[in-house]
Amino acid sequence: MTRIDAKFADLKAQGKKAFVAYVMAGDPDFDTSLEVVKGLPGAGVDVIELGLPFTDPMADGPAIQLAGQRALEAGMTLDRTLEMAREFRKGDNTTPIVMMGYYNPIYSRGVDLFLEQAKEAGIDGLIIVDLPPEEDDELCIPAQKAGLNFIRLATPTTDDKRLPKVLQNTSGFVYYVSITGITGAAQAQATDVAPEVARIKAKTELPVIVGFGVRTPEIAQNIASVADGCVVGSAIVAELASGKPVSEVLAFVKSLADGAHRA
């Protein structure tokens, strides 16, 4: 059982929904980013998604694209991202960390070496948005053999024919993308999301977590009420980009977490 599995089992036992927060590793710099990441559990975050900066983030909207650029310009690398996870683990051995990004840096490192390093650093799962199920032998299956969850995205365009393929080797949780398009593009609507979550849950025992378009405590509560939890990324990244102190960013995160946990 991974930390992700344990976390969702614990939340289920408490009758609570999950709040997942995404931050870009190294944005705006290593030290500030690490301070934010270390503060997330205390702000009510159940699972941390740690963005791996990449030069061509095709699924991301402007907020996360710019965060990646800032991180890269500040010297963030795959090694530094793993170092951030290691530093976090010195004080927290229970909060799951999911590394989210693109395949190129992992491919360049070499899958076996990357998985060994990720496991050692305390990474629990991977979301690699540009690897479809047809490429499961590349990373998904090796990751699961190494003891990491491989979390797949389902979208509004994942029809009933495609869904079983998407779910086939997924573990940890299913990330349902609430809107078509890029991150931060539109507002998620619970009325649209609810039937899609129900459709996915009819095909899997895994928790279904909804992301994209969740920006306020009210939306977090509404979306979490029709799923097993929600993810917020762009809104948190934008708070950090505005130059607010870490304490204010974490206060904003706590308001979102409180919203999700009210569901």
Q: Which sequence positions are flagged as catalytic? A: 49, 60
| Residue recorded with tokens 């979306």 | 223
List the 97-101 sheet strands across, edge first: 149-150, 125-128, 97-101, 47-51, 18-24, 229-232, 208-211, 174-177, 152-154
In whole angstroms, give the CA distance from residue 191 to residue 212: 15
Contact 53, 24 (CB under 8 A): yes
| Residue recorded with tokens 């941390």 | 48
- Residue 27 has what DSSP assignment? S
In whole angstroms, give the CA distance from residue 232 to residue 80: 23
What is the rounded (10 degree) CA torsion for 196, 201, 206, 207?
A: 60
User: What are residue 51's DSSP bridge partners?
Assistant: 24, 100
What is the rounded (10 degree) CA torsion for 242, 238, 77, 154?
A: 180
In whole angstroms, give the CA distance from residue 96 to residue 81: 15
In whole angstroms, give the CA distance from residue 152 to residue 164: 12
What are 93's two structure tokens? 């051995």
